[in-house]
């Protein structure tokens, strides 16, 4: 649950920074509101789809690998039950349990559910709780979209002469919140996380704004 929440917060952070940076880059080259909006919208759609597809492919690969490990473990249990029992016991021995106790514990676990015992102790896997690629893809797509909407809506509804500043303030507030929650979930320093996220986002926006301004002026 914590990993999912953390991934959602980080996905939202990516949506905020990448879309805001794109908007600022275009705003550095032109003051046309329609152009800036279309660039931001294109960034939102492209980024959300990219995140979703990328997460689907990544988690599918991970799931396929985990399934291969599970099948291999099942075959080993069928072919070499005694050797696998000893291997399971040695896993507990490495954690400080004496061999006799470890062997007894491994025997009892194996009698109840051998494949579950081996997967959890040796690989940290649960056959019934493998990550769903589609769930991960949808979560990434939605979290990125939620984050990207913040700078995009700020550009749409802010007065033309305040557009950049309103977007900047909205993005800084959003990044502060994502930094706070990511640190809270991970048990890290909140002030340090907020500082990193906000400074990184502001630098990214400043850099793209400068690039847009320089190249936009050159092309014009």
> Mean per-residue pLDDT for 201-205?
92
pTM of the model: 0.78
What's residue 219's pLDDT? Answer: 43
The answer to whether residue 111 scores a pLDDT higher than 70 is: yes
Query: Lowest-confidence range among 93-97, 123-127, 195-199, 206-210?
Result: 123-127
The answer to whether residue 147 scores a pLDDT higher than 90 is: yes
Distance CA 142, CA 12 (A): 8
Distance CA 185, CA 164 (A): 31
What's residue 48's pLDDT? Answer: 93
Question: Domain limits of the chain?
Answer: 2-58+145-219
Name which of 44, 40, 52 is nearest 8 in CA terms. Answer: 52
Distance CA 90, CA 73 (A): 16
Distance CA 201, CA 205 (A): 6
Distance CA 95, CA 105 (A): 13
> Mean per-residue pLDDT for 144-160?
92
The answer to whether residue 3 scores a pLDDT higher than 70 is: no
**Cβ proximity of 17 and 203 under 8 Å:** no
What's residue 47's pLDDT? Answer: 92
Distance CA 108, CA 98 (A): 16
Distance CA 49, CA 184 (A): 28
Q: Which residues contact 33 (CB under 8 A, 6 or more apart)?
A: 155, 160, 163
Answer positive or negative: Cα dihedral of 41, 179, 199, 159.
positive
Average pLDDT, the chain: 85
Name which of 25, 33, 28 is nearest 159 in CA terms. Answer: 33
The answer to whether residue 171 scores a pLDDT higher than 90 is: yes
- Rg of the chain over all Cα atoms, to the nearest angstrom: 25
The answer to whether residue 77 scores a pLDDT higher than 50 is: yes
């Amino acid at each position: 649950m914590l990993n999912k929440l953390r991934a959602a917060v980080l996905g939202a952070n990516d949506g905020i920074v990448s879309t805001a940076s794109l908007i600022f880059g275009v705003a550095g080259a032109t003051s046309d509101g329609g152009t800036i909006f279309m660039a931001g919208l294109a960034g939102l759609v492209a980024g959300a789809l990219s995140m979703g597809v990328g997460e689907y492919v990544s988690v599918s690969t991970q799931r396929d690998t985990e399934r291969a490990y599970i099948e291999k473990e099942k075959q080993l249990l069928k072919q070499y039950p005694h050797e696998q029992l000893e291997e399971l016991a040695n896993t507990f021995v490495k954690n400080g349990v004496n061999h006799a106790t470890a062997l007894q514990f491994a025997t009892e676990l194996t009698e109840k559910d051998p494949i579950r015992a081996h997967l959890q102790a040796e690989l940290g896997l649960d056959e019934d709780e493998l990550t769903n690629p589609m769930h991960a893809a949808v979560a990434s797509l939605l979290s990125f979209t939620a984050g990207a909407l913040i700078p995009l809506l700020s550009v749409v509804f802010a007065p033309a002469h305040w557009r950049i500043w309103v977007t900047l303030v909205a993005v800084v507030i959003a990044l502060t919140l994502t930094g706070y929650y990511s640190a809270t979930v991970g048990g890290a320093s909140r002030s340090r996380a907020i500082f990193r996220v906000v400074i990184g986002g502001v630098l990214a926006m400043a850099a793209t704004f400068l690039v847009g301004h320089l190249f936009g002026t050159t092309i014009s």
